[in-house]
């Protein structure tokens, strides 16, 4: 979709495209989805995956999901969930690493006879599933949900980034279709010669759940926040790669100049929504911050809408679901200047700063803190722009990609020289 189109024009064009392909002849009957975290923790990636599964099941597709599991999952899964062996990731015990496909799980996949294998994580399980799909003659779809290659720098392992990048290149090159969340990321794959395989899978937002109508001054007062205070919101998992350290630096630096900006009665407050291994560190680093932990439903909607400025310091976002939810809640955003942020925000709805440019981040936040009219106008524009993002439209993009792949007559030699795409349609005909 052209970058020159506004959000409403893009939405109309996408919906028109979706309506044209709904009658496509090659409808998948069974999809095997492989995930690194389908429902044991709540995050933006698995919210999108569960929305997708719910959508395509309503369209008559049977979905079987293979993922590490937990005795106490964050939410009930869509589809049929099959547990795969996994171990806790050292230093990140809340996450699990899939260890591959044992014989019992392989037999389960083979008995299921999927028409599409969809891989959402490049872990050992994803790689094993990719190989299994090739032996079964089943097309492979890979979706990108985060910039894994950026993680190493946050854990003192920057030297392994080239190795990670080579692994990811092999993983994506070994697929028949690549689903990416934004046009800038699609351009990156096109530059690598994978443009013909790359398709957009956008995201959506529930504009009833995230809305300015949930702003609650009484709740703010109950939390010790004065009506004149300026609330800076951090919203997401409390892990290093999401940028909590930079957020804390921004809060401190903005506070140093808050008196001359906002008046003597105003205070810069930090509200943090989310949980994770950096929570204790943040408690020490920002002792007067309001840490609300993980929230959902009305409590989450109220906390987000009751802030004044959303700050997203993460450089690892592939899409930025939290930015979109803040937009729908009527907040102006201050984000790191990366492709996901540029895809969502315009000058009317937010401000950008270069990664690690603390002065630029502080200048943007201080400007919004000073000018209440600017905050209000950006918040209204952000709310309006969020209407361009609809979950059903986004999920239909994936079903469209499945159908298009099943209808193709060729497969990339780099994906698998021995694959026979004609078998895909023969299997559909045979049921």
Which SS3 state, helix, strand or coil, does residue 59 take?
Answer: coil
How many CB atoms neighbour CB 151 within 10 A?
18
Q: What is the pLDDT of residue 86?
A: 84
pLDDT of residue 428 exceeding 60, the answer is no
In whole angstroms, give the CA distance from residue 208 to residue 231. 22
pLDDT of residue 373 exceeding 70, the answer is yes
Q: What is the pLDDT of residue 316?
A: 80
- Evaluate whether 74 touches 39 at the Cβ level (below 8 Å): yes
Q: What is the pLDDT of residue 260?
A: 55
Using one digit for the tens of pLDDT, what is the confidence trace for 80-112? 999 998 887 766 667 777 788 999 999 999 999
Which has more confidence, 285 or 6? Answer: 285
pLDDT of residue 75 exceeding 50, the answer is yes
Using one digit for the tens of pLDDT, what is the confidence trace for 379-427? 999 999 999 999 999 999 999 999 999 986 434 434 443 343 444 545 5
Rounded mean pLDDT, 346-375: 96
* CA 211 from centre of chain: 20
In whole angstroms, give the CA distance from residue 53 to residue 58. 9
In whole angstroms, give the CA distance from residue 16 to residue 146. 28
pLDDT of residue 4 exceeding 80, the answer is no
Rounded mean pLDDT, 265-285: 92
How many CB atoms neighbour CB 52 within 10 A?
27
Rounded mean pLDDT, 322-338: 97
In whole angstroms, give the CA distance from residue 225 to residue 45. 32
Beta bridge partners of 30: 62
Radius of gyration of the chain (CA): 22
- Evaluate whether 112 touches 61 at the Cβ level (below 8 Å): no
Rounded mean pLDDT, 30-43: 90
Residue 241: band (very low, low, confident or very high) from pLDDT cuts 50, 70, 90: confident
Domains and CATH numbers, the chain: 7-204+390-430 (3.40.50.2000), 212-388 (3.40.50.2000)
pLDDT of residue 335 exceeding 70, the answer is yes
- Evaluate whether 204 touches 390 at the Cβ level (below 8 Å): yes
Q: What is the pLDDT of residue 98?
A: 77
Nearest CA to 202 out of 398, 66, 336 is that of: 398
Alpha helices by DSSP H, listed for 223-315, are 244-256, 258-262, 279-285, 297-305
Mean pLDDT over each residue of the chain, to the nearest integer: 86
């Amino acid at each position: 979709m052209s970058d020159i189109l506004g959000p409403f024009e893009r939405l109309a064009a996408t919906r028109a495209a979706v309506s044209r392909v709904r009658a496509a002849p090659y409808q998948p009957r069974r999809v095997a989805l492989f995930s690194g975290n389908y429902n044991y923790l709540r995050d933006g990636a698995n919210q999108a995956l569960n929305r997708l599964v719910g959508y395509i099941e309503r369209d008559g597709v049977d979905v079987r999901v293979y993922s590490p599991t937990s005795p106490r999952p964050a939410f009930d899964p869509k589809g049929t969930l099959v547990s795969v062996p996994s171990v806790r990731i050292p230093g990140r015990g809340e996450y699990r690493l899939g260890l591959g496909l044992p014989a019992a799980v392989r037999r389960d996949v083979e008995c299921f006879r999927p028409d599409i294998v969809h891989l959402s994580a490049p872990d050992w399980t994803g790689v094993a599933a990719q190989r299994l799909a090739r032996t079964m003659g089943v097309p492979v779809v890979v979706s990108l949900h985060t910039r894994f290659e950026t993680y190493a720098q946050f854990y003192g392992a920057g030297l392994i980034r080239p190795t990670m990048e080579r692994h990811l290149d092999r993983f994506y090159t070994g697929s028949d279709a690549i689903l990416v969340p934004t046009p800038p990321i699609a351009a990156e794959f096109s530059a690598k010669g994978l443009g013909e395989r790359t398709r957009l899978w956008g995201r959506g937002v529930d504009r009833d759940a995230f809305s300015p109508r949930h702003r609650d001054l009484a709740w703010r007062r109950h939390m010790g926040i004065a009506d004149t205070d300026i609330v800076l919101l951090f919203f997401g998992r409390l892990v290093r790669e999401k940028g909590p350290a930079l957020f804390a630096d921004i809060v401190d630096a903005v506070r140093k100049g808050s008196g001359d900006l906002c008046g003597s009665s105003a205070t810069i407050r930090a509200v943090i929504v989310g949980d994770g291994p950096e929570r204790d560190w943040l408690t020490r680093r920002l002792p007067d911050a309001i840490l609300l932990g993980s929230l959902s439903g009305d409590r989450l909607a109220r906390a987000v809408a009751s802030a004044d400025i959303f700050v997203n310091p993460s450089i690892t976002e592939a899409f930025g679901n939290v930015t979109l939810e803040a937009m729908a809640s009527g907040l102006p955003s201050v984000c790191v200047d990366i492709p996901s942020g540029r895809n969502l925000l315009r000058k009317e709805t937010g401000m950008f700063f270069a990664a690690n440019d603390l002065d630029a981040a502080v200048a943007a936040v201080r400007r919004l803190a000073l000018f209440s009219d600017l905050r209000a106008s950006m918040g209204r524009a952000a709310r309006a722009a969020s209407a361009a993002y609809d979950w059903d439209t986004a999920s239909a993009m994936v079903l469209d990609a499945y159908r298009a792949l099943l209808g193709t007559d060729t497969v990339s030699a780099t994906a698998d020289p021995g694959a026979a795409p004609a078998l895909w349609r023969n299997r559909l005909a045979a049921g």
